[in-house]
Amino acid sequence: MQQTIGFLELNSIAKGVQAADAILKAADTQLVFAKAVCPGKYIVLFTGEVAAVTSALEAGEAIAGVTAVDSVVIPSVDRQVIKAINLSTVPEQTGAVGVMEFFSVTAAIYAADSAVKAADVTLIDVRLATGIGGKSFVVLTGDVSAVESSVKAGTQAASDKGLVVSSVVIPNPRPEIFESLY
């Protein structure tokens, strides 16, 4: 089943809680999570039908006002994105590793979705701001050319807003690198 997600990132915890409430009241959506993250940001991830998610996000953005950092609606989000956000992906095989780092939390989500749709890769992690100063990062694996294509697609998705910090592709990482990522 294809799933649509909405994501809102704010730089105010109080406004974040209020926006999350507005999102849930505005349309038939289901909350995946709403929580405070570093450094004093608030993030809301929710699902539903495309029209409901779009309408709910608009309601949340109206409450957020100038405290909104970034937001996105992704129809037909790749299932790997949700699994990687929840840290529930351990790849059966590893190959090259790609890492994309972003200034916003939201950028990691749309970059991860773009990356997995660009090539045959496995998302390992989509880390959302907890303990890393409000940044986010995406880790994926696959063959070198697939990882290169995916990292390019993912960083392009976030570069329009100037949210990319850095990205790397490591063709033949040592096994300890993968172990450190789980």
HEC profile of 100-144: EEECCHHHHHHHHHHHHHHCCCEEEEEEECCCCCCCEEEEEEECH
Predicted confidence band at 12 (pLDDT cuts at 50, 70, 90)? Answer: very high
CA distances 121 to 19, 127, 142, 159, Å, are: 34, 17, 5, 21
Domains of the chain listed by start with CATH number = 3-77 (3.30.70.1710), 79-181 (3.30.70.1710)
Its pTM stands at 0.85
Which region among 96-105, 154-163, 173-182 has the lowest average model confidence (pLDDT)?
173-182
List beta partners, residue 140. 98, 123
pLDDT at position 160 is 82
